[in-house]
Structure 1
Amino acid sequence: MNNASVFAPTDLKNISATEIRRTLDINLIAPILLSKNMAFQKEKSSIINILDIFAVKPLTDYFSYTISKAGLRMATKALAKELGPNIRVNGVSPGIIIWPEGDVNKEFMSTDIVRGLPLKKKGEPSDIASACYFLAEAAPFITGEIVTVDGGQSLN
């Protein structure tokens, strides 16, 4: 599972090449290289990339993050074609997930955003884990797909 990422504001007006490269290196290049290394060492396995709903719906002031996750979305599909039949490659695309500690916007996310979701509840880390488990263990005929886990947020 490729889950490491950097999520920092980078507005287009002030962004530097260094910031773009750092974000792309962590969010896009690293998962591709890790997938490549794993793919040729194991047979009949599964790779899961953690994406973001903002891979298809740009997030203002997060230019580098958005393009890196969009790239990883396409890389997931390309890797699925390249690495089959022994390796399945899929992605999980979370919306806003409330983590148990350290979230400075917890109150905002618990009210304003949740009210706008069709399911009217916040996502939990276990929701992401369940989707990953499904793709890794219970879906042997699925590859190149992205499962969106966002309570319907991407419908808006």
Structure 2
Amino acid sequence: MDIHDVQIPRKTVLAGFGAGAAAVTLAACSSGDSAPDPDAGADASPGGDASAAPEALTSTADVPVGSGVIVGDVVVTQPVAGDYQAFSAVCTHSGCLINQVADGTINCPCHGSKFSLDGQVVNGPAARPLTPVSVEVQGNSIVLT
């Protein structure tokens, strides 16, 4: 095989270019002569706990039984009362963002993939379930864990 016979998908080339351009831009913004801030990332409160509190995605009241909500890049569902589940809102078919939870399914606008409220494929072209995201209920909040 000759190197000229290799075909690289356009998406791969563009993605690589974008990452390289971002690295060059970040490097260009750095003066190189500033010392790192010794207090950066440190907990400012004396004797305080450096661990961050879990991030609340939504409230339990906002997730209807038999449906779900999309919060940023996470889909939170409640297939049956009290059973909260969460998944990446990135479709496993081609990486499009899920845009709707309706009629008992999680729907991707790009190619028509549909997933059940437990993340399993109901209608392709997606062949793999949505990627689970770990959450738990704390009080009336659904938080990332």
Tell me which protein shows more strand as a share of its residues: 2
Please classify the TM superposition score into its range, dividing by the shorter chain length: under 0.3
TM-score, structure 2 normalization = 0.28
Larger radius of gyration between Structure 1 and Structure 2: 2
Structure with bigger RCO (C-alpha 8 Å, 6+ apart): 1
TM-score, structure 1 normalization = 0.26
